Structure 1
Amino acid sequence: MKYANSNKLYINGVWKEGRSDKLYENTNPYNGEVLSTIKLANKNDIDDAYNAALQAQKAWQETDKAEKEAIFEKAIAYMESRFEDIVNLLVEESGSSIMKANIEVGASIATLREASSYPAKMETKTYHSIIPGKENRVSRLPLGVVGVIVPWNFPLVLAMRSVAGAIATGNTVVLKPDLQTYIAGGSVIVEAFEAAGLPKGVLNLVIADIEEIGDYFVEHPIPRLISFTGSTSAGKHIGAIATQNLKKVILELGGNNAFIVLDDADIEQVASAAAFGRFLHQGQICLSVNRIIVDRKIYLPFVETFKAKVQKIKAGDPREKDTFVGPLINRKQVEKVLALIEKSVSQGAKIELEGKVEGNVISPYILTDVTPDMAVAQNEIFGPVASIIPVENEEEAIEVANASIYGLSGAVFSGSLERGLRVADQIHTGMIHVNDQSVNEEAHMPFGGEKSSGLGRFGGEFSFEEFTTVKWTSVQKQPRQFPF
């Protein structure tokens, strides 16, 4: 899959080379093929991008709502017309399976469609006043310029939710995708909006190495909001810098999601859900099933059923339609996952199913007899490793689920919906699903976490709130009496 603009930045409506002395080779994580080579951005390019966004913001804010909506409709049409091309790009650039890539492109289009409703919501409402003769007006306004930083695992949809939400509410954007997936997480989105006729400067793309620019993208005085999706450690650092400069932040960070299996659950259904939620995209999803917590009364039959299903999963070339587990994003990640397995085994975990490593592909592992203090239970595993924790009862399941610094997503399976809901309500997490696995995203629903999983929410009216502010204007229609 070749993209004409895959080796350029996009600043103020112009595709251009970066001004860094550094070149970056974007490679296929499965076979190492070089997809593109780009001259990176430096701090001067970041200045240009933010200045272009600032200059364009006022005119874009004042653009007619119908015109904004029309641009979004054209961007949707562009994405739909390139659907298969973008799927193939995700397979090549991020190692996505064909199934995962189709899910991601579909979700990105749904996100665009949801955001297209935002311009009509940028309205002014009138409220009563306690002062005689006064009218209160509250206006919904854009924040200004938004800086967006996105990761490599779901590059298209994670960038789209911030870019589309910000632009639809009258903001302008500078987007910085991860180097490893900057085409899907950057170039594709820019091309869609460019084809739709988005005015120059409203969306800008910089591709930069953090080793060169440091914190400059976040520290820059122009952006009023930094939207970051990535690791908890990086998010804390970015949040500290942004708040020190009184910038607003949206932080969607890591997860260590609990998948609770109560003793009355349908084992066959649960095992299928767990296999999908754990191994989709090789487990490289913040929403992935990370800790499978099973009541000991059904622990052994669950392990047996789950193992049988996982053994059917094909790992290998993501270009093949029946492949479910493709490559991890890079060798460093492979080594990190193997180290977590090794440490957990040394702590007493049992290898129920041993995977194989071929290049960057790890076929599924299953670890059993895991305890909450083991490495695989304490850390977010961005790899195809399932850890199964036995517990004595419902109360211990809740306790184990909550014994994490994270609180992003989760799942509870029970034969009783009332019981499942009761348990779900006790789990400290931003999202949780009863009788479904933890990887769920709907464009109109609030997406985000608690504790070390982040701040803020994406999706629907919740995303709309994040990208806007309110302004109170009072109008004294009759002279007000003062005591002097």
Structure 2
Amino acid sequence: MQQPVDHSVFVPRQYEGFTGQYIAGRWQAGMANHTVLDRNPFDDAVLAELAQASVSDLDRAFDAAKSAHVEWAATPPSERAAVFFRAVAILDARKEEILSWLIRESGSTRIKAGIEWGAVRGGMLEAATMPAAAQGHIIPVDKPGKEARVYKKPVGVVGVISPWNFPLHLSNRSVAPALALGNAVVLKPSNDTPVTGGLLLAKIYEEAGLPPGVLNIVVGSSDIIGDAFSRHPVPRVLTFTGSTPVGRHIARVAGESSLLKRIGLELGGNAPLVVLDDADLEKAVGAALIGRFLHQGQICMSTNRIIVDASLYDRFVEAYTVAAAAVKFGDPNEPDTLVGPLCNDGQVRNVAKCIALARQSGFRECVSGAIEGRVVPPHVFADVRNDSQFARNEIFGPVAPIIRATSEAEALALANDTEFGLSSAVFTRDEARGLAFARRIEAGMTHINDITIHDYPHVMFGGEKNSGLGRFNGKWIVEEFTTDHFISIQR
């Protein structure tokens, strides 16, 4: 197997030329006769000006992927794996450059940007194992001289629509395994993060030696190319990460395609963090703090509701209030800032409405602060009712609702009383009790004595109920991005 390139002895020239699209290995302007300014959400500085994609650009991207797929799928596994080893070396050499883009474009704090860089690096290493993981089977058949074989092969072309909150990671979480398994990809990043969600990833893969056309990036308005992307006949698998309403729309439009396709949806969440009566209070407070305020709460797995047993409730609220009031917010580039700017003005308006709703509902406001620009300071509300609109919504901002539970049974009922079921957590000193509780939570993922935010490249990721369809990571994503072909032999 080819060894990774050693980039440690020099600092590479920074990437440039983010002006539009990456199609068939060429950097080019979009043809929609419309440009968009990519701005820093903290200070509004212009980072790039991008010519948007038209439907004809989208067609060219899918045509390029369809053409490139055949040769890429026939590439030996070791050669495909080597691309990801080289990508890891590039990530290492360009770490500060990548962190800077994440901070400036997505409003990531330096803390969160480092976590995201590490997640992308881990995803690249996991992808390097996948070319050899697409294994078929020979199956006995109850007939003399008969043999049944099941061959596993790439689906062909995968379409990826990614969000702005963890742009580099949530794009690469689909892109890397799809490529590793022999597929070609067309990626549409969010217009809020076109560079970190797509174009920066294209630069990395291009430098790593990925052949032209295997990965294509289209940056454009959803009003122009969104539905065309979802119903396009070329991609056999479509993945989307984002809100539940948009996910429903994409699934509906994809169903209008002339060819049926597989849909993977990672959607909204309303993650409960449950503190039982025997929990370690200090650890529970710390986990609920990070789980709520990391990346301003703009994570689908963020702790959206904190449910605390009545016996610990007052002590928890007091300790959590002190901890939240001490959280540093503001400039995301400062190393100890936990809460930076929200991604865009729409998010600020949505979070401000949530705060106003909590106040109108009469919930106890324990921590607050004035909104400055797109920076919303931490807010904490206690004595929240689980059946209130405030608690039932995915807040997606630095606002923490605390809910009292009279018993373990009520805590479980409160945790499950939501349309969502992505992530969750429970705190208890009794591991067996925690496991029994966790198995009754209606969610795709539950963490005992830990935060609600976890995404490991080799461990299943996915939700239940209105939090999505399908599974990401490890052997689960191998199944999503491959198809089985049954061939029998009669001797």
- Do the structures match in fold with TM over 0.5? yes
1:247 match = 261
1:19 is the counterpart of 2:31? yes
Alpha-carbon distance in structure 2 between the residues aligned to 1:475 and 1:2: 55
2:189 equivalent to 1:177? yes
1:273-284 map, 5 Å: 273-284=287-298
Distance 2:196 2:15 in 1: 10
1:326 counterpart = 2:340 = yes
1:433 to 426, 432, 447: 447
2:352 to 338, 342, 356: 338
Hey, what's the Cα distance between the residues in 2 that align with 1:423 and 1:122? Answer: 36
- Alignment correspondent of 1:450: 464
Q: Residue type of the partner of 2:75?
A: T
Equivalent of 1:360, from 374, 392, 410?
374
1:383 and 2:397 are equivalent in the alignment? yes
Secondary structure of 2:17's counterpart equals coil
In terms of mean alpha carbon deviation, does 247-256 or 71-80 score higher? 71-80
Is structure 2 residue 72 aligned with structure 1 residue 33?
no
Question: Distance in 1 between the 2:475 and 2:261 partners?
Answer: 21
Aligned: 1:290 with 2:304? yes
Give the share of equivalent positions with the same residue, in percent.
Answer: 46
Q: What corresponds to 1:66 in structure 2? A: 78
C-alpha contact 1:5 1:187 (8 A) present in aligned 2? no
For 1:150-207, what per-residue CA distance to the aligned partner results, in whole angstroms no more than 9, with x for missing partners?
0000000000010001111111000000011110111111111111111111000000
- Map 1:55-454 to 2 at 5 A: 55-245=67-257, 246-454=260-468
1:201-236 alpha-carbon deviations (Å, 9 max, x no partner): 100000010122240011111111111000000001
Choose 143-152 or 374-383, whichever is displaced more. Answer: 374-383
The structure-2 alpha-carbon separation of the partners of 1:214 and 1:463, relative to structure 1 and needing over 3 Å to count, comes to closer
Q: Specify the SS of the correspondent of 1:166.
A: helix
Cα deviation for residue 244 of structure 1 reads 4.2
SS where residue 440 of structure 2 aligns? coil
Structure-2 separation of matches of 1:356 and 1:432: 34
Q: State the distance in 1 between where 2:374 and 2:390 align.
A: 20
C-alpha distance in 2 between matches for 1:3 and 1:200: 18
What is the rounded CA distance, in whole Å, between the counterparts of 1:165 and 1:450 in structure 2?
22
Q: Secondary structure of 1:146's match? A: strand
Q: Secondary structure in 2 aligned to 1:118?
A: helix
- The residue that corresponds to 1:482 in the other structure is none
The whole-number CA distance in structure 2 between the counterparts of 1:82 and 1:243 is: 41
| Cα deviations by residue, 1:114-134 (Å, 9 ceiling, x for unpaired) | 011111122332111112101
Judge conservation of contact 1:411–1:434 (CA < 8 Å) in 2: yes
Deviation, 1:105, is: 0.5
TM-score by length of 1: 0.97
Q: Secondary structure at the match of 2:352?
A: helix
User: How has the CA–CA distance of structure 1 residues 22 and 2 changed in structure 2, closer, same or farther, with 3 Å as cutoff?
Assistant: farther
1: distance between equivalents of 2:370 and 2:278? 34
Deviations 1:292-340 (A, max 9, x none): 0001111000001111111111000001111110000112211111111
- Is this contact kept in 1: 2:231–2:255, CA < 8 A? no
1:210 is aligned with what amino acid?
S
1:336-360, Cα deviation, whole Å (9 max, x unpaired)? 1111121122223111111221100
Question: CA offset at residue 446 of structure 1?
Answer: 0.4
- Please say if residues 2 and 35 of structure 1, whose CA atoms lie closer than 8 Å, have aligned partners that are also in contact: no
Asked whether the equivalents of residues 242 and 248 of structure 1 are also in contact (C-alpha less than 8 Å), the reply is no
Task: Report what 2:10 is aligned to.
Answer: none
- Listed one character per residue, the Cα deviations across residues 77-99 of structure 1 (whole Å, up to 9, x for unaligned) are 11111111101110000110101
For 2:176 and 2:434, locate their aligned partners in 1 and report how far apart those are by CA, in whole Å: 35
Q: Take 1:50 and 1:306, find their aligned partners in 2: how far apart are those partners? A: 50
CA distance in 1: counterparts of 2:436 and 2:83, whole angstroms: 44
SS in 1 for 2:60: helix
CA distance in 2, matches of 1:158, 1:214: 18
Matched with 1:481 is none
Q: Tell me, in whole angstroms, the C-alpha distance in 1 between the residues paired with 2:89 and 2:205.
A: 10
Task: Tell me the amino acid that sits aligned with residue 383 of structure 2.
Answer: D
Partner letter of residue 398 of structure 1?
A: L
TM-score (ref. length: structure 2): 0.96
Root mean square deviation of aligned Cα: 1.1
For 1:392, the aligned partner's letter is: T
Q: Check conservation: 2:14, 2:97, Cα contact below 8 A.
A: no
**Which consecutive unaligned segments of at least 5 residues does structure 2 have?**
1-12
Gaps of 5+ in 1: 478-484
Query: What SS class does the counterpart of residue 362 from structure 2 fall into?
Result: coil
- SS of 2:192's equivalent in the other structure is helix
Q: What are the superposed Cα offsets for residues 446-484 of structure 1, whole Å, 9 maximum, x if unpaired?
A: 01100000001111111111111111110111xxxxxxx
Distance 1:230 1:2 in 2: 30
CA distance in 1 between counterparts of 2:470 and 2:224 reads 29
How far does residue 243 in structure 1 lie from its aligned partner after superposition?
Answer: 3.4
Query: Structure 1 residues 343 and 2 mapped into 2: Cα distance closer, same or farther (>3 Å)?
Result: farther
CA–CA separation in structure 1 for the residues paired with 2:79 and 2:224 = 39
Aligned pairs for 1:45-64 (under 5 A) are: 45-64=57-76
- 8 Å CA contact 1:340–1:375 kept in 2: the answer is no
